[in-house]
Amino acid sequence: MKRRKRELLPKTEPLKRDPIEDTEYFHTIIDQVRTEAESLVEPDIRLGRSLVVDREIQRLLKEKYNIDWKTPEEMNPNWDLL
């Protein structure tokens, strides 16, 4: 009996998120922080831009709000995020 290609692929786990993202305080500030981070990143960057923006968000959250947020890249080391 032939096996389907999909059955041969390794099982993937869902992306993990930092639990701090579930707090009310985080929800109130993240839109403002994300907008500021987007404005700080060079607009010419296309591939991997989200990783650079995430690092800027992380820096801004730490400097302005003293929040230790882990980026999706840090939470999911076995994933190749671009």
Per-residue pLDDT reduced to its tens digit, 33-82: 999 999 999 888 888 889 999 999 999 999 999 999 999 999 988 877 76
| 1 domain residue, yes or no | no
User: Cα dist. 64→4, 17, 76 in Å?
Assistant: 51, 21, 25
| 9 domain residue, yes or no | no
Checking phi first, is residue 65 left (phi over 0); if not, alpha (psi -120 to 50) or beta? alpha
| 26 domain residue, yes or no | yes
Domain with 67, as residue range(s), is 16-71
| 35 domain residue, yes or no | yes
**pLDDT, position 29:** 96
How many angstroms separate the CA atoms of 75 and 52, rounded?
15
How many domains does the structure of the chain reveal?
1
Token duo for residue 40: 């700080």
| 60 domain residue, yes or no | yes
